[in-house]
Structure 1
Amino acid sequence: MLPFILKRLGLALLVAFTVSFISFLLLFLSGDPAAALAGETASGEDIEAIRRVYGFDRPMLVQYGEWLVSALQGDFGESYYFKLPVAGLIAERLQVTMILGVCGISFALLTAVPLGVAAAIRPNSIVDRVALFMSVAGQAMPSFWFGLILIVVFAIQLGMLPPSGAETWRHFILPTVVLGYYAMPAIMRLTRAGMLDTLNSDYIRTARAKGAGEGRVLFKHALRNAIIPVVSLAAVQMGFMLGGSIVVESVFALHGAGYLAWESIARNDLPTVQALILVFSMFYIVFTFLADVLNAWLDPRMRSA
């Protein structure tokens, strides 16, 4: 198990380094950052002055090396717009996004996995058709539209839940449902397909022939093998929820890291954008690494991969 973990860790570090370089490079390839900071009415002398002040006149690799060394020490510079340390700004906003992401993926897993298992146990039944309907609706329904519908029904008409903000746990119920429902279809379909394939396997028939109870067959033998691809998918979905929650945060006025990314892009706040790209990418890499380790623990055959 240890060689497998070390191998996956080395790959994760290599991917992290590559992502950091590409994200740094793309921001400069998108245009002249000095001209973006100076504004449309700035003169050539003003642009050159800004380029010298912020160090944009130095070689690209030198700028990247200095930025990477500072980033590894937790220093992402100062925000051009907010005039605050970027690390502290992201840490403050990331708390809301982390809570929303954890609640969203928990809601998706606790809803989609049981529905997928139930649909696989009774294919073409009412449960299977309900699961199929929810899967199709989740794919077809835009998240911002679903969020607005929930606000109108549960916040305005019924008055059961607050429509926006992040003051109490009740403020996270509606955005959790919206964010989690978006991830449900893929998890549900993958669970159902995995269970159907596993339940038709020879070792399941052998376990039943030996007199194993149905609950033991389903949850110890079938679900343990069917859940492996679901773990990998959940890791990717969790990374997406943290990095792509900007729509949900905007609809429900949650000023998290996703909303901060939109603000920074709109205001040409390069240090904040660079740091957010790196942070969100690290979340994807870490969750994928943890999913690989968990899958290797669930299925020892994967340790030789």
Structure 2
Amino acid sequence: MLRYIALRALLALLVAFTVSLAAFLLLNVAADPAQAIAGEDATQDVIDAIRARYGLDRPLAVRYFDWLGGVLHGDFGESYYWHQPVASLVWDRADETITLALSALTVTILIALPLGALAALNPNSWIDRFALGVAVSAQAVPNFWLGLIMIIVFGVTFPIFPVSGDDTWRHFVLPAFVLGASSVPAVMRLTRTGLIEVMSADYVRTARSKGFRGGALLRRHAMRNALLPVISVLAVQLGQKFGGSVITESIFAINGLGRLALESILGADIPTVQMLIFVFAIVFVTMNLIADILNAALDPRIRIG
């Protein structure tokens, strides 16, 4: 088990390193950072002064390894736009994004798992068709459109929840539903497919012969094996919530990492954008690593493989 965890952790580190390198190259090669900071109407003297001030006149490889060395020592650089350490910017806004991501994942679980279980227990029935209809609808509706509809319905027509800000838990209800709804189709379909497959297994038929039915059959015999692929998807979805919160946080005016990323892109703040991409990548690979470890703990065949 320890060897398996070590190999998966090494792979996660390699992925994070590759993402950091790709992000650095894209941000520094696709356009001139000094020109982006100075603006379109800036003179060449101003551009050269900015390039010298921020060390942009050094070779690309030197700048990358300086940045990577700073990251390893906890120094994420200074923001070009806000003129303060990037670490403090990310740290100050991380709580909002973490709260939103966990709330959205909770919404996904509360909707997708019961629907998937009901559909699996009643295949080809109206319940099954209703669950699949919900999944198709959630997949077809874009987040920005659903967010606007939620604001109109629950913020204007029926003013139940606040539609902007992040002061209380009520501010996270609508954005959590919007962000969580996008993950419902994948989780619901996997739950349904996994349970249908497991319910036809020999050990489940044996449990039925012993008198287990409904919820007891699911909890004690079917759900554990059926949830193996679901755990991986939930972990991936949680990682995606961090990077995919840009639109949702912008619509509901939540001062999280997603909105910080948008503001940094508009302000040509390369150090902040670069660090946010790295943070999102670290979160994503960490969630995948946790999913792999949980799957290996639940199914020894994965460790053997």
TM interval, short-chain normalised = over 0.9
Alpha-carbon distance in structure 1 between the residues aligned to 2:49 and 2:158:
57
- For structure 1, which runs of at least 5 residues remain unmatched after alignment? none
Report the 3-state secondary structure (helix = DSSP H, G, I; strand = E; otherwise coil) of the residue aligned with 2:183.
Answer: helix
* SS of equivalent residue, structure 2 residue 182: helix
Measured after TM superposition, the shift of residue 36 of structure 1 is 1.2
- Map of 2:212 onto structure 1: 213
- Give the equivalent residue in structure 2 for 1:247: 247
CA-to-aligned-CA distance 1:222-269 (integer Å, 9 cap, x gap): 211111111111111111111111111111111110011011011100
Secondary structure in structure 2 of the residue aligned to 1:144: helix
- The residue number in structure 2 matching 1:283 is 283
Partner of 1:97: 97
Q: State the Cα deviation string for residues 159-178 of structure 1 (Å, max 9, x = none).
A: 21112111111111111111
Distance in 1 separating the partners of 2:216 and 2:299:
18
For each residue in 1:176-199, what CA deviation from the matched residue of structure 2 results, as whole angstroms up to 9, or x when unmatched?
Answer: 111111111110011101111111
Query: Where does 1:165-184 land on structure 2 (aligned, <5 Å)?
Result: 165-184=165-184
Counterparts of 2:60 and 2:206 in 1: how far apart (Å)? 63
Cα 1:222/1:80, change in 2 over 3 Å: same
Aligned residue for 2:57?
Answer: 57
- Which range moves more in the overlay, 146-155 or 215-224? 215-224
1:208 and 1:135 mapped to 2: Cα distance?
A: 29
Cα offsets for 1:90-109 (capped at 9, x unmatched): 11111111100000001101
Partner Cα distance (1:14, 1:304) in 2: 23
Matched, 1:22 2:22: yes
- Equivalences for residues 1-305 of structure 1 within 5 A: 1-209=1-209, 211=210, 213-214=212-213, 215-305=215-305
Count residues with an aligned counterpart.
304
Name the CA distance, whole Å, in 2 between partners of 1:58 and 1:67.
12
Q: In the aligned structure 2, how far is the partner of 1:197 from the partner of 1:156? A: 45
21-30 or 252-261, which moves further after superposition? 21-30
CA RMSD of aligned residues (A): 1.3
CA distance in 2: counterparts of 1:110 and 1:254, whole angstroms = 23
Q: Distance in 1 between matches of 2:39 and 2:221?
A: 63
Q: Distance in 1 between matches of 2:114 and 2:256?
A: 30
- CA distance in structure 2 between the partners assigned to 1:217 and 1:22 by the alignment: 48
CA apart distance, 1:216: 4.4
Query: Which stretch of structure 1 is more off in the superposition, 180-189 or 144-153?
Result: 144-153
> How far, CA to CA, are the matches of 1:160 and 1:267 in structure 2?
35
Relative to the length of structure 2, the TM-score reads 0.96
Post-superposition shift, 1:212?
5.5
Normalising by structure 1, report the TM-score: 0.96
Percent identical across equivalent pairs?
A: 51
Aligned letter for 2:243?
G
In structure 2, give the amino acid aligned to 1:213.
Answer: F
Question: Which amino acid counterpart does residue 302 of structure 2 have in structure 1?
Answer: M
Moved more, 142-151 or 111-120: 142-151
One-letter code aligned to 2:236? V
Q: Distance in 1 between matches of 2:4 and 2:40?
A: 53
Distance 2:155 2:243 in 1: 26
| Residues in 2 aligned to 1:195 and 1:266: alpha-carbon distance in whole angstroms | 46
